């Protein structure tokens, strides 16, 4: 992941700043130790290279040996990785690497639940921009690990014409026309709709993707039928594990879920030092 | 909050990068609009100035008028703030400000539940280093807004002697002695203990704070009695809303709760644009 | 343009560093002066707000009054803008603002020549990644001002499957399949082809855009016919003002031109100080 | 070149940002490959170490073997360098390294033409501050490789008293006096003159360097005679390959040429991947 | 020291910027050389790893062999370290490493004089915030090397309630109460007092540390007696090598000395190149 | 001073980091106050705008009214400036502004003593590169305020050929020749000499400045006579207030003094808050 080091160095500086005063005071000098990272519940692994990189940045001499790769389904008790190196650096990297790893595994695991819930349908699960500020690239990676795909990364690499844009432009047709004239030919145009009337307008305007925002199942089914494959159909709004299957069965192509990054619980992982 | 702007500018750059291409394409030029931030559930407000600052950084001409201050207890439907200004900047700031505000309100609200659960006891609720990398200062602020207090900010501004330090130093007494000789006289020394025997050693060594790590209630009660006010007593490990009251009633001074920052759910807040 | 200030501040630091020693030595203190920016040849204006921002960053008190907006077609002798303020800051900003403005006008002007050359055809002129390191966002903006559109900004916001990718994946079909499974649904997939056989494969694989790399006019015409509107067609390679019209007349949708940013001559603009 | 890495890392971030999505999608994992950099026209080589450093920053394991050193005169078809390493990183570094290398070779080549044009005279070719913002240090290096020398790097490391300074100070004599009293004794003082009268004043004031700004050949010859070796003489303004020889033959010591960095055409160099 | 590299890279950039022009001009290319760092007077060594790191950052191939460790008491003529490597980098690192090393040795040496002056008393010597902007972490480290301990690092990691805070809060008791309610339980509270009456108030309010600001010896003795071990006692204000012993003999626990970092003279150390 | 803000923001971040915890805890909210900066001894003022800028960066609403300008000779008791604004920001800026101001006044005052000591001779006092890492631009400014002039700023903007360069080049003549061929024509060439023989060589080689390194007075006098105005003469090494007059009387043009920045004592200045 290009740019990862900047995130990790900021996280380490936030935690260590002028130094780990306890270790400096109590255990000065070098002292070799081993450690393991251990899953305390079942989960989808995501971020093992991120965890490794945290320690590498602290001390290139630390050996970090992963036992699983991202995407692996872990059981409680599984050893994710073994570490060997200077105990002071193992202790300094513990919290930052776990804070990131637990969050990434949480996102991947939650994503995998949504993906499983729609298995057998044509629907794909995608994320949103409701991510943790500063960590978006890591969370979107974890979504992919969990079997989802990504929506646009930010406001700069995708076009999503919303209600306010439409009102300001004077209608869907004009909004789409303006976008087509301006954007790279490599980008698709997505239009947010709230009614079947708007769906029709967006289709007529040549939208590549039509978002059905907070529609009920019947409306979604009808929209899918109306669109008839001439645009991708994205369902959005109020999606939960309870509702996602029914939504998928309406025939939509894409279901975007804010909860993937917004409400993912951190997975329980701990680091155990040995032979200090 | 000193340093806030750097966090916010990074978050805005993450989302906007080279530009909000939809707005640039569809709604070029200036266009005045109003907006409101609205609570969709009850919560403790935290971060209203952070949200305001996001818009201020985008465009100093935006008027952000808060209707509540941090610490206020909001009901669903309450208007947190009114905004007026160039619609393009309102749209660009929406996601970043909400992502931060919803998280901070989540932390403050969850903290307030723990604080209420121990009302009437001597125990105070404190946070941990299990925070979101890059956002620690915001999350620790939200803990204070919710009625908690903060543990050390990082490894650099507090001493916590753990099992590994003790083993390496050759015992609690020696570890505390080394720390006292090294650290600023303005810092206290905390020692993590797992048995009543270790509690006794820490007390004899002159620890200022004794952490009871994953002890059961009976052990905690006995530890409190043994210590007898000669050191602060901190309970840690496996604390939940279900167990926190009983822990508080053992007489400990401090209960540290990773969940405050680790598992806080984002509160539901939305921004509505008007008169675009 | 989000991120503009960082570019400008780096450019100013590069030129001024510890201070404009001549002015500090010879003309210390404040001294009000006026200045004008004047076109010395005909051109398409691009970057007037960038030039203004350079002076604003040096001293917010400088008044920069543009007389034309980006996109205007200037004649030799036209006054682009008037400035009024502290002479020391006018002098310090002169070189940096002109270096940027002259380059941006050069790109816009050259682009406009290509756009005019294909007038009446369906072809649109797009840029490439052959831009000045550090100034890509400015140069791509100038291309739009000149009437072109942008290709992807970088490797991160568009998919272009080249010969090497195809070889490594084992064929066009597999390469497109992998891309579709991975990328955001908001992005199109472009495939580079060198033969009509490859054009057929790309079409069958469902490519959204098919690049015809260095094909002759006959091959291009045949490719356009084969594709029949089922994908966008982009001509690329060896495009010059002499050849672009003929290429456009083959019926391609897009013609990408490295020269727009790679070989644009700086336009001749000067700044004249008055009443020092 | 101290500070080079910062320029290169910014250029790589500009192009790659969150990742090379095509390669990530289509060719995940490591894959060893070879590549060559090849000249497509004759040129003076400049920047081979810069190109190497781009790849080194992406992946220290890439082997970059230059076949020529800076200053070499290449023919079309010459192989500049061979590369071996992970294909993903070769692809990611290609555009940035070429964008820089082609520009630097362009500057060196153009400079060498000016240097050759004045061969046998006492005149030396120097550059100006009309450089690409952010790349000045690279372009000034390329000028030296091409046989030129550098003028001051920026406003901070040389004194050039221009018309406006003179007017503000109340005359050349006073301007020079103020400069001499202020600047490091290690710097020379240059005065810009437009008439022979000003040349005389500058000489009398003790200027170390006298710039003849836009004078005709006769005036230049007379100025050289007047100065008689008591100051360096720099010709400036409107210098082209057509006029530079005649200017040199007036006897000036220095000829500054904005075109060296301002109008240099990028040389044609390509990278070819093999055995992907 | 976490964060050291950023300080050193800024210092190197300040001195070298675009390059060591003398060496580039006169001695281009690699040339192996040796060098030594030599003490020209007696001193306490502090910063040997900092000096080594300067050269390591310039060129990882330089071998820096320390002959002494921090804390060593050097005599004039002692060789601190031997260096071997590319002469250009030895020359470029000389000034920055010496500027830092001489300053750090100065602080450590001066601190050691104060520590010796109070030998046999209970008093410990501590530093203040009167440090060199940008170098605080290095100077505070040197204080520890010299046998002192550190006061708080900055405004963020320690509480010092001064006269103005007390006035604003309405009294010492209220100020201490507010602080206790707000700060981490890991921090002590220090109160500045100027009279014995204030000492009594601070003690009653539960201050952990009581600073005696500019009191005479008699008042200090009486304050120590009054406090009777119930709080740490810190003497502050107007401490010099002439007065520190008498102050220590009043029985205070801590004596803070601005001069440690504020007035430390740079120690005389030189670098000698050999075999260039 | 271009670049000043970066220095000041780093200094403020170093001191304040996550916040002034005492003020946040004890005196939350806004509270208007006044303050003065007062000289406690006589000195040359330098840095009053730097001090003002510190407060401006913390809070643009603070009014900072200087009563003296840089270069003024202050007596003990003089009020340098009056401040009015939010007390929290006055307290937060106090230490950083004083740390800088006291140091800058120290440098200017010490410089003025050297300048006065050589009054009536032709000698000018210049500084060296023995400055505080990170603060060179401020210290060199203070030297100018004190009546001195600056030597080169760093290794990049001046040429000083030392013993090692000479040895590597094979002699002074060759070293000077190489430098002249490489450097900007706006820079002079300085050669360090230790014997009269070397002085002769440097003169013959065309050095612009000849440094007499650690020569005795007789040798300096003879060197001055030999050079006879054909180059600037700089005395260097072991200069003190005791010896500087005699050195000046040898007729040298320039005397460089490391002590100006290396050993300057901080001047005693305090800030007094009123009406808190």
F116 is catalytic: no
Degrees (nearest 5) of the Cα angle C132, C136, C140? 120
**pLDDT tens sequence across C252-274:** 999 999 999 988 989 999 999 88
Catalytic residue among B38, B95, B177, B180: B95
Query: How many C-beta atoms surround the C-beta of residue A197 within 10 A?
Result: 10
Spatial distance between the Cα atoms of F54 and F102, rounded to a whole number of angstroms? 14
Q: Are C106 and C267 in contact (CB under 8 A)?
A: yes
pLDDT band at D26 (very low <50, low <70, confident <90, very high): very high
Rounded average pLDDT over D70-82 = 98
pLDDT band at A202 (very low <50, low <70, confident <90, very high): very high
Which chains pack against C, by 3+ Cβ pairs within 8 A? A, B, D, F
| For residue D163, pLDDT beyond 80 | yes
**pLDDT tens sequence across A124-148:** 999 999 999 999 999 999 999 999 9
| For residue D263, pLDDT beyond 90 | no
CB-CB under 8 Å, C186 with A187: yes
Q: What is the pLDDT of residue F8?
A: 97
Q: Are E208 and E189 in contact (CB under 8 A)?
A: yes
CB-CB under 8 Å, F25 with E159: yes
Chain F residue with Cα closest to D182: F149
| For residue C28, pLDDT beyond 60 | yes
Chain C residue with Cα closest to D96: C133
Q: How many domains does chain F have?
A: 2
Q: Are strands A232-236 and A254-256 parallel, antiparallel or unpaired?
A: parallel
Q: What is the pLDDT of residue A132?
A: 96
pLDDT band at D3 (very low <50, low <70, confident <90, very high): confident
For residues A160 and A189, state if they share a domain: yes
CB-CB under 8 Å, E16 with F155: yes
Rounded average pLDDT over D204-214 = 98
Which chains pack against B, by 3+ Cβ pairs within 8 A? A, C, E, F
Give every strand in the sheet of C269-274, ordered side by side: C63-66, C79-86, C32-39, C269-274
In degrees and rounded to multiples of 5, residue D44 shows phi and psi of -95, 125
Q: Are F50 and B36 in contact (CB under 8 A)?
A: no
Rounded average pLDDT over F146-161 = 97
Nearest to B254 by CA among B175, B197, B188, B206: B188
CATH number, domain with residue C196: 3.20.20.70
Chain E residue with Cα closest to B182: E149
For residues B247 and B124, state if they share a domain: yes
CB-CB under 8 Å, F169 with E26: yes
Structural domain of F44: 4-114+264-274
Q: What is the pLDDT of residue C46?
A: 98
Q: What is the pLDDT of residue D29?
A: 85
SS3 B149: strand
| For residue D276, pLDDT beyond 60 | no
CB-CB under 8 Å, F1 with C16: no
Q: What is the pLDDT of residue E275?
A: 60
Q: What is the pLDDT of residue C113?
A: 98
Residue A177: exposed, middle, or buried by beta-carbon count in 10 A (0-12, 13-18, 19+)? middle
Q: What is the pLDDT of residue F225?
A: 98
Spatial distance between the Cα atoms of D4 and D54, rounded to a whole number of angstroms? 10
Spatial distance between the Cα atoms of B264 and B107, rounded to a whole number of angstroms? 5
pLDDT band at C29 (very low <50, low <70, confident <90, very high): confident
Spatial distance between the Cα atoms of F163 and F169, rounded to a whole number of angstroms? 10
A192 is catalytic: yes
In degrees and rounded to multiples of 5, residue D270 shows phi and psi of -130, 160
Q: Are B93 and B55 in contact (CB under 8 A)?
A: yes
For residues F10 and F64, state if they share a domain: yes
For residues F268 and F173, state if they share a domain: no
Chain E residue numbers with beta carbons less than 8 Å from the beta carbon of D3 are 13, 17-18
F262 Cβ partners below 8 Å, 6+ apart?
A: E102, E266, F128, F130, F131
Rounded average pLDDT over A184-212 = 98
Q: What is the pLDDT of residue A275?
A: 60
Chain C residue numbers with beta carbons less than 8 Å from the beta carbon of A229 are none
CB-CB under 8 Å, D27 with C165: yes
Q: What is the pLDDT of residue B49?
A: 97
Given a cut of 50, the residues of chain B with pLDDT beneath it are: 276
Chain B residue numbers with beta carbons less than 8 Å from the beta carbon of E185 are 124, 126, 149, 151, 188, 209, 232, 234, 253-254
Q: What is the pLDDT of residue B102?
A: 97
For residues B133 and B85, state if they share a domain: no
**Catalytic residue positions of C, numbered:** 95, 130, 162, 192, 213
Q: Which residue has the tokens 């550090």?
A: C134
Q: What is the pLDDT of residue C262?
A: 85
For residues F130 and F65, state if they share a domain: no
Q: What is the pLDDT of residue A32?
A: 92
Least confident span in D182-196, E113-127, F17-31, F202-216 = F17-31
Given a cut of 50, the residues of chain E with pLDDT beneath it are: none
Phi-psi map region of A72: left, alpha, beta (phi>0 left; psi -120 to 50 alpha): beta
Residue D149 C-alpha, separation from nearest chain F C-alpha, in angstroms: 6
Q: Are strands E189-193 and E159-161 parallel, antiparallel or unpaired?
A: parallel
For residues F182 and F131, state if they share a domain: yes
Q: What is the pLDDT of residue A262?
A: 85
Q: What is the pLDDT of residue A88?
A: 93
Q: What is the pLDDT of residue C2?
A: 77
Chain A residue with Cα closest to B15: A154
| For residue F201, pLDDT beyond 90 | yes
Chain C residue with Cα closest to B20: C2
CA-CA-CA-CA torsion sign (B221, B227, B232, B238): negative
Which chains pack against D, by 3+ Cβ pairs within 8 A? A, C, E, F
Nearest to D165 by CA among C87, C99, F150: C87
Provide the number of CB pairs (under 8 Å) joining chain E to chain F: 184
CA F128, F133, F138, F142: dihedral to nearest 10 degrees? -40
For residues B100 and B51, state if they share a domain: yes
Q: Are F188 and F215 in contact (CB under 8 A)?
A: no
Q: Are D178 and D169 in contact (CB under 8 A)?
A: yes
Chain E residue numbers with beta carbons less than 8 Å from the beta carbon of A13 are 2-3
For residues D109 and D149, state if they share a domain: no
For residues F102 and F161, state if they share a domain: no
Rounded average pLDDT over D242-246 = 98
Q: What is the pLDDT of residue D250?
A: 98
| For residue A267, pLDDT beyond 60 | yes
Q: What is the pLDDT of residue C275?
A: 61
Nearest to E48 by CA among E140, E142, E165: E142
B46 Cβ partners below 8 Å, 6+ apart?
A: B70, B71, B104, B105, B107, B108, B141, B142, B145, B146
Beta strands in chain E (DSSP E): 32-39, 43-44, 63-66, 73-74, 79-86, 124-126, 159-161, 189-193, 209-213, 232-236, 254-256, 269-274
Q: What is the pLDDT of residue D245?
A: 98
Nearest to A81 by CA among A118, A103, A49, A57: A49
Rounded average pLDDT over C236-243 = 94
Report the Cα B11 to chain-centroid distance in Å. Answer: 19
**pLDDT tens sequence across A31-80:** 899 999 999 999 999 999 999 999 999 999 999 999 999 999 999 999 99
- Nearest residue, CB atoms, D11 vs list C31, C133, C276: C133
| For residue D126, pLDDT beyond 70 | yes
Q: What is the pLDDT of residue D19?
A: 95
Residue F2 C-alpha, separation from nearest chain D C-alpha, in angstroms: 10
Report the Cα F145 to chain-centroid distance in Å. Answer: 9
**pLDDT tens sequence across C119-159:** 999 999 999 999 999 999 999 999 999 999 999 999 999 99
CATH number, domain with residue A43: 3.90.1170.20
Q: Which residue has the tokens 């690329």?
A: C236
Helix, strand, coil percentages for chain E (3-state, nearest 5): 45, 20, 35
- Nearest residue, CB atoms, B185 vs list E144, E185, E254: E254
Rounded average pLDDT over F41-61 = 97
Spatial distance between the Cα atoms of D68 and F28, rounded to a whole number of angstroms? 67
Spatial distance between the Cα atoms of C151 and C130, rounded to a whole number of angstroms? 11
Residue C19 C-alpha, separation from nearest chain F C-alpha, in angstroms: 6
Rounded average pLDDT over D35-62 = 97
For residues C156 and C101, state if they share a domain: no
B6 Cβ partners below 8 Å, 6+ apart?
A: none
Write down the pTM of the prediction.
Answer: 0.95
Chain F residue numbers with beta carbons less than 8 Å from the beta carbon of E185 are none
Chain D residue numbers with beta carbons less than 8 Å from the beta carbon of F184 are 126, 149-153, 157-158
In degrees and rounded to multiples of 5, residue D106 shows phi and psi of -60, -45
Q: What is the pLDDT of residue C135?
A: 97
Report the Cα D132 to chain-centroid distance in Å. Answer: 9
Q: What is the pLDDT of residue D275?
A: 61
SS3 B123: coil
Q: Are A213 and A236 in contact (CB under 8 A)?
A: yes
Rounded average pLDDT over D233-257 = 97
**How high is the mean pLDDT of chain A?**
96
Chain E residue numbers with beta carbons less than 8 Å from the beta carbon of A57 are none
For residues F110 and F157, state if they share a domain: no
């Amino acid at each position: 992941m290009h740019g990862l080091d900047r995130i990790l160095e900021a996280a380490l500086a936030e935690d260590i700043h002028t130094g780990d005063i306890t270790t400096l005071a109590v255990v000065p000098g070098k002292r070799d130790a081993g450690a393991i990272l251990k899953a305390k519940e079942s989960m989808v692994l995501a971020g093992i290279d991120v965890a490794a990189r945290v320690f590498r940045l602290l001390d290139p001499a630390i050996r970090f040996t992963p036992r699983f790769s991202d995407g692996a389904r872990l059981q409680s008790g599984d050893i994710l990785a073994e570490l060997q190196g200077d105990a002071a650096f193992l202790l300094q990297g513990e919290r930052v690497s776990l804070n990131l790893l637990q969050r990434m595994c949480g996102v991947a695991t939650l994503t995998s639940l949504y993906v499983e819930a729609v298995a057998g349908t044509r629907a794909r699960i995608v994320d949103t921009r409701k991510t943790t500020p500063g960590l978006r690239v890591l969370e979107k990676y974890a979504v992919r690990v969990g079997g989802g795909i990504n929506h646009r990364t930010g406001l700069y690499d995708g076009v999503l014409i919303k209600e306010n844009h439409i009102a300001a432009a004077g209608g869907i047709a004009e909004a789409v026309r303006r976008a087509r004239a301006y954007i790279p030919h490599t980008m698709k145009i997505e239009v947010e709709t709230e009614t079947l009337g708007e769906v029709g307008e967006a289709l007529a305007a040549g939208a590549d993707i039509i978002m059905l925002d907070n529609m009920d199942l019947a409306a979604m089914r009808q929209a899918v039928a109306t669109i008839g494959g001439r645009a991708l159909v994205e369902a959005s709004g109020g999606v939960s594990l309870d509702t996602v299957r029914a939504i998928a069965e309406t025939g939509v192509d894409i279901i975007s879920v804010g909860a993937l990054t917004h409400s993912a619980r951190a997975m329980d992982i701990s680091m155990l030092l040995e032979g200090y």
